[in-house]
């Protein structure tokens, strides 16, 4: 994606926190995650890959009814799961 190294767990978690707190838009988090998910040549751990794929597509619309496919409650649940799985 860029000359920098792949994101750390803390950086990935910060994207979830930014969404929950409203500091980051769904669009910018999706674009950030997409850049890493689509980058060739990076070997990801299972948890990193899972978390990045949760964020990739976070801005998908729910359809004609409005809103998002993955609502704020689901984002908070993913954040909680990420924290729980990191602690293991």
Hey, CA dihedral for 24, 28, 30, 34, is it positive or negative? negative
Furthest-apart CA atoms within the chain: distance in Å: 40
**In whole angstroms, what is the distance from residue 26 CA to residue 16 CA?**
10
Q: What is the pLDDT of residue 64?
A: 83
Q: What per-residue confidence (pLDDT) applies to 1?
A: 53
Q: What is the band of 65 on the pLDDT scale with cuts at 50, 70, 90?
A: confident
What residue segments make up the domains of the chain, in order of their start?
9-68
Rounded to whole angstroms, the Cα distance separating 16 from 78 reads 8
What is the pLDDT, as a whole number, of residue 20?
Answer: 95
Question: pLDDT, tens digit, for every residue of 9-54?
Answer: 999 999 999 999 999 999 999 999 999 999 999 999 999 999 999 9
Asked whether residue 2 carries a pLDDT value surpassing 80, the answer given is no
Using CA atoms of 58, 30, 16, 44 in order, give the dihedral in degrees to the nearest 10.
Answer: 110
Asked whether the whole model's pTM tops 0.85, one would answer yes
């Amino acid at each position: 994606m860029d000359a920098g190294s792949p994101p750390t767990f803390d950086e990935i978690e910060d994207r979830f926190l930014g969404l929950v707190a409203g500091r980051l838009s769904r669009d910018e988090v999706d674009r950030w995650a997409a850049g890493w998910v689509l980058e060739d040549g990076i070997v990801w751990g299972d948890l990193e890959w899972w978390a990045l794929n949760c964020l990739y597509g976070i801005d998908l619309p729910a359809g004609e009814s409005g809103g998002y496919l993955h609502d704020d409650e689901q984002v908070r649940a993913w954040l909680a799961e990420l924290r729980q799985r990191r602690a293991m």
